[in-house]
Structure 1
């Protein structure tokens, strides 16, 4: 389905219905395709155990605990 940017602004709920049926939506602006909305597939989510990566990948604590500890007030 192809819609204009104006249609996107005024008919968002209709576009969500179209996406829920699995159809992709191309958004145009001044007659040229600018973006593409695709339906979200839950089966492609990143597994929860791979939530940390990079420099924190070797730590055993979860991200929420690490961030909470960083935000605590420092005591000297």
Structure 2
């Protein structure tokens, strides 16, 4: 499907419906293609595939204590 930038501004909910059906949307501005919206499939990625996932798993620090210390006021 091809839409203009104006259609994008005024009909976002309709475009989300189109994307949910798996159809790609090309956005044009002044007659030239500028962007392409593709439907997102979240089943292809899992959090374990992320390289940063679990980077502090080997630390023994208590997260609540760390956050509490970060939120303390500074003593001048």
Residue equivalent to 1:73: 72
Q: Work out the number of aligned pairs and report it.
A: 70
**Runs of 4+ that moved beyond 6 A:** none
Structure 2 segments unaligned to the other structure (5+ residues): none
Q: 1:68 Cα shift?
A: 2.9
Q: CA RMSD for the aligned pairs?
A: 3.1
**What is the TM-score with the length of structure 1 in the denominator?**
0.69
Q: Note the 1:1-76 alignment, pairs <5 A.
A: 1-47=1-47, 49=48, 53=52, 57=55, 59-60=56-57, 65=63, 68=67, 71-73=70-72
Structure 1 gap segments, 5+ residues each: none
TM-score, normalising length: structure 2? 0.69
